[in-house]
Amino acid sequence: MINTKHKIEFDAEKCVGCQQCYKSCFVDVIRWDKEAKKPVFKYVEDCEHCFYCQSVCKKDAIKVVPDYSSEHLMQSFEAYK
Amino acid sequence: MKTINKLQSDVLIIGGGIGGLACAASLKEHNPELDVLVVEKNFAGYSGKANRGGGVLQYFDLNRIDPAEFAVFHANAIGAFLGDQELMMKYVSMNTEMLDKLASWGVNLPKNDDGTYHVMPTGPMTAMICVDLDITLKVRKYAEKLGVRFIDKTALAELYKDGDHISGALVYSILDGELSLINAKRIVLATGSQNYRIGSMWSSGRGDGIAAAYRAGAAMRNAEFGNFAQLAKVKSHNEIVFGENFMYNAKNEFITKNFREFRETDINSNAIREWYTQMTAGNGPIHLDFGPQGGDDGALERLWNRPYGHKFRVLNDESGNAVDTDLEICPMFIGEQSPIMVGHDMQTTIPGLYAVGDCCYSGSGLAGAVPAPPGRNRGSGILNAVFDALVCGEAIGTQKIEASFGAISDAAVEKDVNALFAPLDKADGVSPVKVIEFVQKAMAPVELSVWMHKDRMDKAMGFVNEAKKLVPQMKAKDWHELLNCREAEAMVLSAEMHYKASEMRKESRGWFLREDYPEMDNKNWLKWIIVENKGGDMTLSTMDVPIAGWPAQPQN
Ligand SMILES: Cc1cc2nc3c(=O)[nH]c(=O)nc-3n(C[C@H](O)[C@H](O)[C@H](O)COP(=O)(O)OP(=O)(O)OC[C@H]3O[C@@H](n4cnc5c(N)ncnc54)[C@H](O)[C@@H]3O)c2cc1C
Ligand code: SF4
Ligand code: SF4
């Protein structure tokens, strides 16, 4: 998908800086802030709402909120309705 | 010129999904002395697809099934005589060995109390096992223990040859652009397939490894079988495996019966054509009705205990179910072009350059006339990658490797570095997203890419050419976007290969459907289409399928 509008809610208070979420993203949405020892959700427009980062976070610090309407399968079926 | 780190390894593996990781482990088991380095665009063990999929592994009861029997069934029912039956027999015969290997590497394969694998039958010849989704993490850990080295967040840019033989690769960090030139005696590509960023879970398949191989001169085979599509719910876009057996139109007519008599375990392209035919006849929207038993969300989770993957699957299902108020469906184009041509030892047409897994599933000839994975052969994605990895691991691991490294031309590297970074140096230009949009317009609508016709393919090629024109104008603001530029360029190449090869194949066969050539033509088309880069031009030729000595032969 391109130009998605999914949101990622991050609770920095809960985060213990384990880097699991950073490593888990398969499309480079998440970067690592070395000073703050926290993830940065830098390229959210490329997020695929796969939920992997949320599922590996043992501290429940991440919530992926998909906006499905921002994903387009590009079938021309609207035209045939 | 920019600073370039100089690195070396006996074997360089590009891509740290299950294919690359299994190959690394196998190489070290065969020859512990080999220096093996894995370079991965994201994080090996976390990246790729094996940990985001169903985790289904195909199982063959080898006490009951003869590999030749399955090869015959496959050629007739699935691969439509375009598959390499010899390779298929080897793949089937290694099934237990592959599962045992994974288990020995620490992968959690479910077992019964008596120690046998927990298997569920899926058809007269096949069965399945579900593996937990930490499969890749387990194999990375094992490979690390054997001394395999890893460089993460680093992408392949170009491959180099000394004469004909592979000699190295240029890679760059996607975090800060740090460049490394890696001299290697053997290189294994394990970079996955081309999915054009359409289906979300498939989105890491961007074909940049395929493109690098093509640029280096490696031949491609079966590029026209990169047009997989699956039925998905129109709101969440969650795919519905098996849904094609339950399709109804707006008049509540059961339309599955128009293309198949009995339920099958896997989708075929006729289901996609049927959707399109019904929609254009004004009979849409199309929905599924599973009857009183309902859909089967979560069936795998109930059958197999998978503690690692459980949360991931539940989050996906719950989130999708919250928006799916009905079972309206439409096709989701997935692609899965996997065309790097390899021989039975997984070597490409460039000596010393090998490929394993999703980047060469069609290119190996294993799948036949279907896009792969899954190649209408569920549970063969992961195991095909493991199969290739074991074959490649043995081929390289038992070779006497020369002591010296091949040369890499400084001038070629300088030219490539300049080309690689060109989008970063531009003040004005177009975003790679613009290029991808044109490619998606060409590939996503199934009446262009799956239910094909010359006129519609010409229209699609129009979009591909628009995309191609924009490639030199792409601009990147940072390293992440630079990666997107490289991937966009690879998508243009894949789309071009798809349509050129598809126009050439003037028949319908297996998954491959042409409205203007509806019949299978064994007289003229028991052939593979080979796509090659000759001095910058895309050339197409054919190669006869050497079917004469194989167990299955077409009737006419
Ligand atoms: C939703 C879904 C469900 C699936 N379900 C199943 C199933 O139930 N059973 C089954 O058997 N198969 C399934 N599959 C298919 C299976 O996951 C794949 O066939 C298998 O994982 C392929 O492994 P691979 O290592 O060849 O490729 P990948 O897993 O795609 O790995 C390729 C790796 O290469 C890296 N890479 C790519 N380009 C570069 C570059 N230029 N430089 C450096 N690194 C690069 C990528 O980041 C990635 O880590 C499924 C796939 C998906 C998406
Ligand atoms: S996985 Fe959770 S705890 Fe670990 S770094 Fe990410 S947000 Fe923080
Ligand atoms: S949901 Fe998936 S794609 Fe999105 S940031 Fe998390 S890991 Fe990356």
Task: Give residue limits of the domains in chain A.
Answer: 7-67
- Strands of the B247-248 sheet, one edge to the other: B228-233, B328-335, B286-288, B247-248
Q: Are strands B247-248 and B286-288 parallel, antiparallel or unpaired?
A: antiparallel
Provide the pLDDT confidence category of residue A76 given band limits of 50, 70 and 90: confident
**Where does B330-400 have alpha helices with state H?**
380-397
- Min CA distance, B74 vs chain A (Å)? 31
Q: Are B78 and B370 in contact (CB under 8 A)?
A: yes
B136 vs A contacts (CB less than 8 Å): none
Phi-psi region of B417 (alpha: psi -120 to 50; beta: other; left: phi over 0): alpha
Closest CA to A21 of A65, A51, A66: A51
CB atoms within 10 A of CB B300: 18
Query: Residue A20 CA: which ligand 2 atom is closest?
Result: 1
Asked whether the beta carbons of residue A26 and residue B204 sit closer than 8 angstroms, the reply is: yes
Q: Residue B152: its chain A contacts at CB < 8 A?
A: 23
**Which ligand lies nearest the alpha carbon of A58?**
2
**Ligand closest in space to the Cα of A22:** 2
Q: Compute the distance between CA of residue B525 and CA of residue B87 in angstroms, rounded to an integer.
A: 20
Task: Using CA coordinates, name the residue in chain B closest to A45.
Answer: B433
Q: Distance (Å, rounded) from C-alpha B413 to C-alpha B434?
A: 28
Q: Indicate yes or no: CB of A23 within 8 angstroms of CB of B198.
A: no
**Is B295 buried (19+), middle (13-18) or exposed (0-12) by CB count in 10 A?**
middle
**Could you give the maximum distance between any two Cα atoms of chain A, in Å?**
54
Q: Which residues of B touch A81 (CB under 8 A)?
A: 279, 284-285
H or E element, residue B86: helix B85-93
CB pairs under 8 A between A and B: 101
Say what the pLDDT of residue A80 is.
59
- Judging contacts by C-beta atoms under 8 Å, the chain B residues touching residue A42 are 480
Write the CA distances from B320 to B233, B240, B324, B326, B462, integer angstroms: 9, 12, 6, 11, 35
Q: What is the pLDDT of residue B252?
A: 97
CA of B40 to the centre of ligand 1 (A): 12
Per-residue pLDDT for A81 more than 60?
no
Mark the ranges of chain B whose per-residue pLDDT is less than 70.
Answer: 1, 294-302
Query: Residue A52 CA: which ligand 3 atom is closest?
Result: 7
Residue from B419, B310, B391 nearest A52 by CA: B310
How far apart are the C-alpha atoms of B512 and B268, rounded to whole Å? 10
| Parallel, antiparallel or unpaired: strands B513-514 and B451-452 | parallel
Q: Facing residues of B308 across strands?
A: none
In this complex, the residue of B152, B204, B323 whose CB is nearest that of residue A27 is: B204
> Is the CB of A77 less than 8 angstroms away from the CB of B237?
no
Residue B506, SS3 per DSSP:
coil
pLDDT at B297: 61
Q: Does B447 touch chain A (CB under 8 A)?
A: yes
B344 touches chain A (CB under 8 A): no
Q: Which helix (H) or strand (E) holds A23?
A: helix A20-24
Asked whether the bond before B351 is cis by omega within 30 degrees of 0, the reply is no
User: What confidence tens digit (pLDDT) does each residue in A39-65 have?
Assistant: 999 999 999 999 999 999 999 999 999
- Compare all CA atoms of chain B with the CA of A52 and give the residue at the minimum distance: B312
Contact B380, B137 (CB under 8 A): no
Atom of ligand 2 minimally distant from the CA of A18? 4
According to the model, what pLDDT value does residue A52 have?
A: 96
Judge whether A48 is closer than 8 Å to chain B, CB to CB.
Answer: yes
First to last CA, chain B: 61
Q: Are B393 and B448 in contact (CB under 8 A)?
A: no
> Quick check: bond before A66 cis, omega within 30?
no
The owner of tokens 């719910």 is: B233
Query: Please, what CATH class does the domain formed by A7-67 belong to?
Result: alpha beta
Which chain A residues contact residue B488 at CB under 8 A? none
What distance in Å separates the CA atoms of residue B206 and residue B196, rounded to the nearest whole number? Answer: 6
Residue in A6, A7, A31, A52 to test binding to B, most B beta-carbons within 10 Å: A52
Determine if ligand 2 sits within 6 Å of the CB of residue A12.
no
Average pLDDT of every residue of chain B: 96
> Is residue B134 within 8 angstroms of chain A, CB to CB?
no
Nearest CB neighbour to B480, from listed A28, A54, A73: A28
Q: Which residue has the tokens 């010393």?
A: B352
Residue B51 is encoded by which pair of tokens? 């940990």
Residue B114 one-letter amino acid: D
